[in-house]
Structure 1
């Protein structure tokens, strides 16, 4: 799907403030409300805008620990990958699951209230996941840049 400068303006303002209503977004993008609505509809239908939602600050909710766990799976079982992913989805503290090509097969981002909570999650929910061949943990110290925006 091709986008033009008007689409880019709308997307820039939408990324800057996802809570904007169509009228305010149209005003900021310099188009009519009807044009803005049609453009948004086309961008959604074309898969450019997938969803609009809230970004939650886990720390503000009391989750002080975030750990990225990298897994290599034992692939002797042909269902290892699917069974691992299905089990990981059931762990409430897993906030992201990503798959890779290379030495690491899967990465899970796990949140916990503190180190004691993380140890419990790790021992009782993570280490019980099926088909783990190797695991590496990286504790988040700081997020320097976290942007999903493109240079539009």
Structure 2
């Protein structure tokens, strides 16, 4: 398994990025200013984008695991890599997600804890309804993780 950071041609992973953020115009808001990481294990298994939000905070804007590789630990391995990579550079990592038990459970299992929510984020910022695990997304739930 190898994790590398890409600095060019980030849009080549648009199909994967769209698994986690299904509107390209929203991805365009952070992709170029973010750092993109690719987890390769005999092929690309997962990717993520992290942005600098200032004041010692970075944000995990997008993390996606290829459909055929989901539930095999790749997402957690990528997050653990990020925690080590950004330790000392940032004091906190945040992530925003839909108010869906599977997503919240995943992030909490990685060490994140509840921070705050932004009411109507999905309804105000996306041009279509987003349904995840049968739940219509409305609010963005933010979680935080103290980095060492």
TM-score, normalised with respect to structure 2: 0.29
- If each structure's strand is expressed as a fraction of its own residues, which one has the higher value? 2
Question: Higher relative contact order by CA 8 Å / sep ≥ 6: 1 or 2?
Answer: 1
**Larger C-alpha radius of gyration, 1 or 2?**
1
TM-score, normalised with respect to structure 1: 0.29
- If each structure's helix is expressed as a fraction of its own residues, which one has the higher value? 1
